[in-house]
Structure 1
Amino acid sequence: MSYYKHGVSIGLVQINSEFVLSIKAVGTLTHEDYQHLAPMLEAAITKIDEPKVKVLFDATEFAGWEMRAAWDDLRLAIKYGSGDKKVAVYGNHDWVGWAMRVGQWFMAEGEVESFDTYEQAVDWLCEPEMAL
């Protein structure tokens, strides 16, 4: 039996003492995926009561977006991208660096970094904050 899997899963996980918004994208995302994603993302973000929202994005099975879904993604980035966030993306895709640079435009107060492995992403995401 053959099937095609695509979509997004969102959760809130604790890594040591850090609460992290965990997002995993699979396959090629569609407009319909974003119709379901937006309310889940909004609910997850409002549940995080931390001074800095930390996001761990798993792109290991992500293939990209359909055209309309790419527009949906841009609108979500504009809506939720501002504020104090730290986003670690991991996965071995050539486009990850380019997508992270575009995403950084919408995160005036946040940080975005891409990594090859989960371990590298978590190490950076959960490193102690430097006091000024």
Structure 2
Amino acid sequence: MLYVLPETAGDLIVVQATDTLTAKDYQDIFIPMVEEKVEAHQKVRVLLYLDHGFTGFEAAALWEDAKFGMAHRNDFIRLAVVGDADWINWLAKIGDLIVSGETRHFTGSQFLQALHWIDGSDEI
């Protein structure tokens, strides 16, 4: 499940994933939001918070993510992936290969640091 957090404004998208991230989450929430913000701002900054209840991705969600990432690879200024699982660092590294903007992994306790970094107000 995907939730849009209140920090979302302008070209900044902040979302929280919990339980299982589904293809429907991408199709109904994430993709339309990114496309709307890209149309308005040309490029976006995204913070994806994978909370302690996050259990993973549906296979169809991974496919949606890959298709979306390739189609919009030049639309990101920065992408922050926040979460504590060991594999999240790997996910951020893959994101860094796909998107042209900067990508970083932050632990769950570094959520505010990630928010400052994504906003460009804290060059870590």
Query: Shared topology, TM-score over 0.5?
Result: yes
Are 1:46 and 2:39 an aligned pair?
Answer: yes
CA RMSD of aligned residues (A): 2.8
Find the counterpart in structure 1 of residue 46 from structure 2.
55
The one-letter code of the counterpart of 2:2 is V
Find the counterpart in structure 1 of residue 4 from structure 2.
10
Find the counterpart in structure 2 of residue 4 from structure 1.
none
Unaligned runs of 5+ in 2: none
Say whether the 8 Å CA contact 1:11–1:44 is kept in structure 2.
no
Unaligned runs of 5+ in 1: 1-6
Say whether the 8 Å CA contact 1:31–1:68 is kept in structure 2.
yes
Find the counterpart in structure 1 of residue 25 from structure 2.
33
1:1-132 equivalences in 2 (<5 Å): 7-10=1-4, 13=7, 20-37=12-29, 38-47=31-40, 49=41, 53-60=44-51, 61-108=53-100, 110-116=101-107, 117-128=110-121
How many residue pairs were aligned? 119
Cα gap change, 1:128/1:91 in structure 2, threshold over 3 Å: closer, same or farther?
same
More helix by share: 2
- Give the Å deviation of 1:114: 0.8
Cα gap change, 1:129/1:84 in structure 2, threshold over 3 Å: closer, same or farther?
farther
Which entry has the higher C-alpha Rg, 1 or 2? 1
Identical aligned pairs, as a percentage? 28
